[in-house]
Each structure stands twice: as structure tokens, then as C-alpha cells.
Structure 1
Amino acid sequence: MAAVVSEETIHLTDRQCFAILDWAAEQPQSGLVLRAFLASIALAALRPEEALALRVRDVKVADDGASWLLVHPQAQEHREKYADRAGAVRRVPVCRELAAILKEETIRRDLRPDDAIFVLDDGRPLNAEVYRTVWRQARAEVLQAHEIDSPLGRHLSALRDACIASWLKSGDQTAGHILAVAQCAGMSAPRLAERFAYCLRKPTRDEIPWDRLEAALALPDLPGQPTSTARRP
């Protein structure tokens, strides 16, 4: 999650993202579950409501150790809010760091397959009011004074944006790669390309297929026609 700066967007760096996760883990009340919740956004690009809906059974681990999340469509009001995302269950790859955090949380609380992963230690649900308060506190503690007054990480969605930007920049940026990132993020490919256009690498002059472009744009040869000379009667 490298820092990305454009006219409209500032992304958190790796160091800042993990510092926020570490700060959350150190909180005396529900610190570990808060870290796990924020990690699911920072490392799997989930939306907050998608993370809150996760059950233990939604974390899948293959025989070779590869892990992924099954992210289910949310309520109708959320589908309307995010109309560009697919309505089907999607598979999101899970990195080793997130897989370890989720496994630790499942074991720590002795969760069963149907249990929600992110619930506060006192049994209360982790809701928007709680995680937004935690986010504001974490941001104030981790960022420097001049960063706090900037748009940097102003909203929790900054963690998701940083993750998506990292996915885009780490691949070959072919059409297939962009489509795969869009599917993992639950967005349409056109919306992803529009929203994260500043993350897409522009081809160099040598990479542009000039010969094919020239052939595609060339006008067809017109059949020769005799040239007549006009004469006055």
C-alpha cells in the first residue's frame, strides 16, 4: 500500500496502516477484535458492513494453505448505495497476515462456524458508531500533526482505497488484471478504472502498437477513376 497522491486522493502508506492496526490491538477493551476488523478492510478491501457480516464459515482455507473470504451481498439499502458492485457472493483472496489475524481471533473467542467474527469482547455488536470513534482516535494517535489537518485517512474507507490501489499497482495492469481487482473489490471494471485512474500505468511510446493503430485507422484504397477535362461549349 504505497502512498499515492493525486489532486483528489491521498492514500495511507503501509507504515501508517499497520501503525493503526497496532494501535487498535493495544486498546484495553476489545483491542484484538478491533484490529481484526480494521485488518479485514486494510488487507482485503472489504467495506465496513461487509466485514461486520462475516461469519467464521466465510473464511475458507485450501489444502495448499491459500485462503479467501466469501463476501455476501448486503441489504437492499447497501446494494442501492453501491450500485456498481456485483450482487453475487464474491471470493476475496486473503494474505498470510490477515489469515493469521482471523485465525487468532477465532481461536481466542472459541467461535463456531455460524458466529460473527467481529463482536466486541463484552458481547455488544461492533457497529458504525463504535468503529468510527475508534478510527478517529487511531488517526489522531498515529498521524503527525500536519497530516491530521489534511484529507489523509479522514474516513475509514481510506484503508480500503489503499488496499485497492496496492492491488492495481502490483500487477501487470492488463485488462484481465484490472477485471480481477474489480471483482475482488466488488466494483465494476469501468467504475474501478474511473475511481483509480491515477494508479494505472500509462504505456511508454515503445509499448504502443503504432503499426496496428496505423493499420486500423488507415482509409481503404479508392478505385482509380478517369480524370475528365471540362471544356466550354
Structure 2
Amino acid sequence: MELELLDANPMRRVKLRLAKTEAAIDRRVVVNPRQARAQLAAVRERDPALEGFFACLYYAGLRPAEARNLRLDDCNLPAQGWGSLVLTGSHQYSGSAWTDSGRPDEERELKHRTTRDIRRVPIHPELVETLNRHCEQFPLGVSGRLFVTRTRRAGLPLAPPFQNPVSMGIVHSAWHRARRKALTAKQVDSLLARRPYDLRHACLSTWLNAGVPPAQVATWAGHGIDVLLRVYANCLDGQEDLARGRIEEALRDAQTET
């Protein structure tokens, strides 16, 4: 082009795809355990059939689409102690124009995985208790789905069998009510846990800050370790103090040896 040998720039016809990157999490969205438990308690008071849904996001790091797809057969729920989940897929809302079935949402594989991949996740005793209580109190959906749509648009109850996973509209409405109930007015106006997905961020941040090796957290979360560390780097409390302590210890040991 600089030599004026071409009539037009051929690069304009080349369509470039920008690589997708996940931005680092703003730590202002991450709730602490006390705040998370207060919000779950608020859900239990007003929308008890969804307490387990949000608890899966906070205690097991599930994505909302993975929780929508959760079935009883996927759960190991002992009477007490730790349990586990075996995640086999997700139920995504994409809009009818983007699904093979023409329905607005459909069951798919786990994110960034093939249709045969599964993910095993340990679940804290508090989540085990919550899910056991959920299964005792609320009829399951078709094929044992835990979290289903139980009301019509007007709020009237549906009779079983429950065919559809809980809609994200219902999920968001319940979460907004819980935030207003459990948080201060200033916190409600802030970024703190504004979306249900932020509970997953809080879960993974808690695991990392508890000292769980990043490789293990990445496996449980369904992340690559490089993505995990890049996305959650801002949510690791106390890392600077730990690093300074290690430097001081190394210099102290070196001085002792001389």
C-alpha cells in the first residue's frame, strides 16, 4: 500500500476474531461468609425452594446453568459430613434463535468441556444439610431435577410433574429480594453480590484464601489454572503480607548462615 502497487487494502476483507479473555474479578462483588449466610437465610425465609440453588453456587462454586441442571442422581448426600456432586452438564438460556430445538434454553455440556466430560466437586456439610432438606420438602422435577419452575407467570403454583428447570427470571427476582433483606441500604446500592453468579466468585475466592492449592480449585471449578489465577488474583487477601514474611525469613536465614 505504501508503494501504491495495490488499488485497495486486501486486509479489510480479513475477518479477525478477538480472543476471548476473562477479566479479573472486582473484589467489591465478593461477599464474606457472614454476608453469604445472611443472604441464604433471607432466601430460605422468602423463597425456600431456591435456598439450595444459591447454596450450590456459594458452597460448591457451581455456575447457575450447572445448578439448573442438577439432578438427585448427581448428588452424594450423606446424613452428615461432606458430600459430593458429579456434574454432567448445564442448562443454558440462549434464546430460541440459538438452540437446535427452537426452545429458549437447552441442556448442554459443561463449559469448555466435551459432552462426555464430568466434574466432581466436594460439598461442604452445610450444603449437604441444605440439599437434604430441599429434597425432603420439595417434590423433584422430571428425571430428578432439583431446581424447577414451580409457579406460573401470575405466581400461581404449578402441579407436578415439574417439567422445566427454574427460570433465571425467578432466580434473579429471588436474589434481589434476598439482597434487600440481608444487606444494608449502602450494600444494596453497591456491587456486593449484585448477581447470583457472584456467589461462585465468593466460593472460589474463599477456597483460594483458605490455602487450597490453585490446581485443585481449578479442577473443582472447571477452570484452567491460568484463567483461575488471572481472574481471581485481586481476591486473594493477605498475599502481600505472606510474601513479605517469606522475604524476611529468607533474608534472616541468609544472615544466620554468614
TM range (shorter): 0.7 to 0.9
**Equivalent pairs, count:** 198
Out of 26, 35, 40, the residue aligned to residue 8 of structure 1 is: 26
Deviation at 1:155, TM superposition (A): 1.4
Aligned to 1:118: 147
Structure 1 portions without partners, runs of 5+ = 1-5, 212-233
Out of 53, 70, 86, the residue aligned to residue 69 of structure 2 is: 53
Taking a change above 3 Å as real, the CA distance of residues 93 and 32 of structure 1, as seen in their structure-2 partners, is same
**For residues 37-90 of structure 1, what are the alpha-carbon distances to aligned partners after superposition, in whole Å with 9 as ceiling and x for unaligned?**
11111111100010010100000257995410011233697989954x687201
Aligned to 2:8: none
Taking a change above 3 Å as real, the CA distance of residues 86 and 208 of structure 1, as seen in their structure-2 partners, is farther
Aligned to 1:228: none
Identity of aligned residues (%): 29
Return the TM-score normalized by structure 1: 0.73
Aligned to 1:36: 52
Taking a change above 3 Å as real, the CA distance of residues 193 and 86 of structure 1, as seen in their structure-2 partners, is farther
**What is the distance in 2 between the residues matched to 1:24 and 1:7?**
25
2:90 counterpart SS class: coil
**For residues 167-216 of structure 1, what are the alpha-carbon distances to aligned partners after superposition, in whole Å with 9 as ceiling and x for unaligned?**
00112x6xxx111100111111000000111317353215669x9xxxxx
Structure 2 portions without partners, runs of 5+ = 1-23, 95-106, 151-157, 254-258
Which AA in structure 1 matches 2:175? W
Which AA in structure 2 matches 1:182? A
CA contact (8 A) 1:86 1:186 kept: no
Return the TM-score normalized by structure 2: 0.66
CA contact (8 A) 2:66 2:90 kept: yes
CA contact (8 A) 1:61 1:67 kept: yes
Which AA in structure 2 matches 1:170? A
Which AA in structure 1 matches 2:37? F
Which AA in structure 2 matches 1:22? A
Out of 137, 156, 160, the residue aligned to residue 108 of structure 1 is: 137
| Pairing 1:91–2:117 present | no
Out of 186, 191, 205, the residue aligned to residue 227 of structure 2 is: 191
Deviation at 1:111, TM superposition (A): 4.3
Taking a change above 3 Å as real, the CA distance of residues 183 and 205 of structure 1, as seen in their structure-2 partners, is same
**For residues 105-143 of structure 1, what are the alpha-carbon distances to aligned partners after superposition, in whole Å with 9 as ceiling and x for unaligned?**
112235499310112443464111110111122112221
Instruction: Please identify the structure whose Cα radius of gyration is greater.
Output: 1
**For residues 79-105 of structure 1, what are the alpha-carbon distances to aligned partners after superposition, in whole Å with 9 as ceiling and x for unaligned?**
89954x687201000111111111111
Deviation at 1:33, TM superposition (A): 1.6
**What is the distance in 2 between the residues matched to 1:113 and 1:107?**
16
